[in-house]
Structure 1
Amino acid sequence: MRIGLVVDATCDLPPEFLAANNIRVLPIGIRVGERRIVDDRDPDTTLKFYSQDLPKVGPEDGSEPLTPAQTHDWFLEKLVTDFDYVICLTVTSQRSPIFEHATQASFSLLQSYKERRAAAGIAGPFALRVIDSQTVFAGLAVLAAEGVRLLGEDQHPNAVRTRLEQLSQQMNTFLVASDLGHIRRRGFQKGDRSSIGDRLRGAFLGLGSMLDMKPVLSLVQGEDKPVSVSPNYEKSAERLLNFARARVEAGELLAPQMCLSYAGDPSALRDLPGFAALEDACEAKGIQVHLAMLSPTGGINLGAGAMSLSFAAEPKPFA
């Protein structure tokens, strides 16, 4: 059986990892003024977004997920002749319609995949299962990386799907924004507080007048809230990295994956206080560390220099 893994473009994994493991990326459109960008995790496109497009982002700009019909066509073109069973991981349904659109497309695909496979001389059924990751950015990356590990152990895809659904309930994802001025300038879109951008902006700007402070935002079990506030970005990042290191050293991670992403060149994460100690702790515990660029969907809402960190573990108060 040929088994495939699909993520949407908000999944913050390094392009080398995606390519090496044949992970397919469901693209997302990005709108910046008159410019339309297709985000499919291409590193050159992402770097160009951060260097040229992000400084021009206005309140009306944002991400544009594929429609259900477009998603159906992408599944039909990219998946049904390459795989027999596909697991598709999407950003949380509480913040984006991607899960809903992918689910609708998976149902409509049942009426069209047989003809495509027959034309390619492929016998047997095709199955596609869509999983709501219930997290964002680096959190989606943790689930995808763990899916790769489990599939590499030749576990049955149904067992892998079940395990990933279980882990989605235990994701600990954190965000630190460097430029709260960018977040404030973005404003809110037509009063809609359900999208990724509006919900994150609301959580960050809920700190009121403390715009010179840098909060750590937690997204755990569907609740997003500031859990720490520091006078500068480096201190907030250090607190987050130290918290993650303590969880690793205590042996509390439920999957051997630690994912971090950055709105810009991810090598900048290595210069943050606390990163080296976290990396050493992960190595000692057999935890794989993945560094990637934050998706343009994350960057357009959080601004340059924002970071995301995630791991799977039982929720625990931030300290």
Structure 2
Amino acid sequence: MRVGLVVDATCDLPPEFLAAHDIRVLPIGIRLGERRIIDARDVETTTRFYADDLPKVAPEDASEPLSAAETQRWFLEELVTDFDYVICLTVTRQRSPIFENATQASFSLLQNYHERRNSAGISGPFTLRVIDSRTVFGGLGALAAEGARLIAEGCHPNAVRTRLEELSHQMSTFVIADDLGHVRRRGFQKGERNKLGDRLRGAFLGIGSMLDMKPVLSLVQGEDKPVSVSPSYEKSAERLLTFAMARIEAGDLLAPQLCLSYAGDPSALRDLPGFAALEESCRAHGVQMHLAMLSPTGGINLGAGAMSIGFAAPPVPFN
């Protein structure tokens, strides 16, 4: 059985990892004035977005997920003849319609995939299961990396799906925005389909008069809230990386994956205080660290220099 893994473009995993595990990326549109770019985790497109587009982002610019019909066409063209069983991980449904659109598309696909497979000379059924990751950015990256590991080890796809659904309830994701001025300028968009950006902005700006401070935002079990505030980005990053290291040292991780993403060149993360110690802790405890660029969807809402970290572990107080 050919088992495939799909993520949407908000999943922060490095392109080398995506390619090595043949992880397919469900694209997301990014509206920039009169232009529309397609984010499919292509390095050149993402790099150009951070270098040229992000500095000129307007309040009305936003990400635009594929509709259910567009998602169905993408499934039909990209998956049906390449795999027999596909697990599709999406950004949390609380912040985006991607899960709902993918689920609807998967049901519609059942009615018309047979002709495509028959034409390709492929017998047997095609199965597609959509999972709400209940997380974003680095958290989605860590969950997808664990899915890729289980598939590579030959686990039955039903067992992989069950494990990912279990882990989705235990994802710990944290975000730091370096440019709160960008967050504030973005404002709040009208319409219920802008929840991702609006909820992040609301949580960050909820610190009110401390806009010159750098908060660490926790996105755990559907709740977005600042858990730490420091006078500098470096200090907030150090607290966050030290917290993650403590979870590893305590043996709290439920899967050997940790994902860090950055709105720009991710190599900049290596210069942060606490990074070297975290990397060594990952190495010593058999945890795979993934460094990636933050998705343009994250970047457009959080601004340049934002970072995200995600791992699977039961929630504990941040200290």
User: Do they fold alike, i.e. is TM over 0.5?
Assistant: yes
Q: CA deviation at 1:207?
A: 0.5
Q: CA deviation at 1:288?
A: 0.3
- Does the C-alpha gap of structure 1 residues 130 and 191 become closer, same or farther in structure 2, counting only changes over 3 Å? closer
Q: CA deviation at 1:194?
A: 5.8
Counterpart for residue 312 of structure 2 = 312
- Does the C-alpha gap of structure 1 residues 305 and 142 become closer, same or farther in structure 2, counting only changes over 3 Å? same
1:225 aligns with 2:225: yes
Counterpart for residue 61 of structure 1 = 61
Task: Judge which range, 31-40 or 69-78, deviates more.
Answer: 31-40
CA-based RMSD of the aligned residues comes to: 0.8
1:35-74 equivalences in 2 (<5 Å): 35-74=35-74
TM-score normalised by L of structure 1: 0.99
Judge conservation of contact 2:264–2:294 (CA < 8 Å) in 1.
Answer: yes
Q: CA deviation at 1:195?
A: 1.2
Judge conservation of contact 1:89–1:132 (CA < 8 Å) in 2.
Answer: yes
User: Match of 1:36, SS?
Assistant: strand
How many corresponding residue pairs? 319
Counterpart for residue 266 of structure 1 = 266
1:127 aligns with 2:127: yes
User: Match of 2:169, SS?
Assistant: helix
* Deviations, residues 204-227 of structure 1 (Å, cap 9, x unaligned): 000111110000000001101000
Structure 1 CA distance, aligned partners of 2:96 and 2:48? Answer: 24
* Deviations, residues 56-99 of structure 1 (Å, cap 9, x unaligned): 11110000000000000000000000000000000000000000
Structure 1 CA distance, aligned partners of 2:193 and 2:121? Answer: 48
Structure 2 CA distance, aligned partners of 1:163 and 1:95? Answer: 23
Structure 2 CA distance, aligned partners of 1:283 and 1:17? Answer: 17
Structure 2 CA distance, aligned partners of 1:282 and 1:189? Answer: 39
Structure 2 CA distance, aligned partners of 1:176 and 1:134? Answer: 19
Counterpart for residue 98 of structure 2 = 98
Q: CA deviation at 1:34?
A: 1.3
Counterpart for residue 201 of structure 1 = 201
Q: CA deviation at 1:192?
A: 4.7
User: Match of 1:209, SS?
Assistant: helix
Judge conservation of contact 1:193–1:199 (CA < 8 Å) in 2.
Answer: no
Judge conservation of contact 1:94–1:194 (CA < 8 Å) in 2.
Answer: no
* Deviations, residues 156-182 of structure 1 (Å, cap 9, x unaligned): 000000000000000000000000000
* Deviations, residues 245-292 of structure 1 (Å, cap 9, x unaligned): 000011110000010000000000000000000000010000000000
Judge conservation of contact 1:192–1:198 (CA < 8 Å) in 2.
Answer: no
* Deviations, residues 271-314 of structure 1 (Å, cap 9, x unaligned): 00000000000100000000000000000000000000011001
Judge conservation of contact 1:9–1:40 (CA < 8 Å) in 2.
Answer: yes
Counterpart for residue 157 of structure 2 = 157
Counterpart for residue 298 of structure 2 = 298
Counterpart for residue 252 of structure 1 = 252
Counterpart for residue 214 of structure 1 = 214
Judge conservation of contact 1:10–1:137 (CA < 8 Å) in 2.
Answer: yes
Structure 2 CA distance, aligned partners of 1:53 and 1:28? Answer: 16
Q: CA deviation at 1:119?
A: 0.6
Structure 2 CA distance, aligned partners of 1:282 and 1:121? Answer: 45
Give the letter for the 1:253 counterpart: L
Counterpart for residue 138 of structure 1 = 138
Q: CA deviation at 1:9?
A: 0.2
- Runs of 5+ consecutive residues of structure 2 not aligned to the other structure: none
Judge conservation of contact 1:85–1:127 (CA < 8 Å) in 2.
Answer: yes
Give the letter for the 2:65 counterpart: P
Structure 2 CA distance, aligned partners of 1:192 and 1:238? Answer: 35
Counterpart for residue 189 of structure 1 = 189
Judge conservation of contact 2:97–2:193 (CA < 8 Å) in 1.
Answer: no
Judge conservation of contact 1:88–1:129 (CA < 8 Å) in 2.
Answer: yes
* Deviations, residues 136-193 of structure 1 (Å, cap 9, x unaligned): 0001101110001111111100000000000000000000000000000000002759
Structure 1 CA distance, aligned partners of 2:191 and 2:235? Answer: 33
Counterpart for residue 27 of structure 1 = 27
Give the letter for the 2:176 counterpart: V
TM-score normalised by L of structure 2: 0.99
Give the letter for the 1:249 counterpart: E
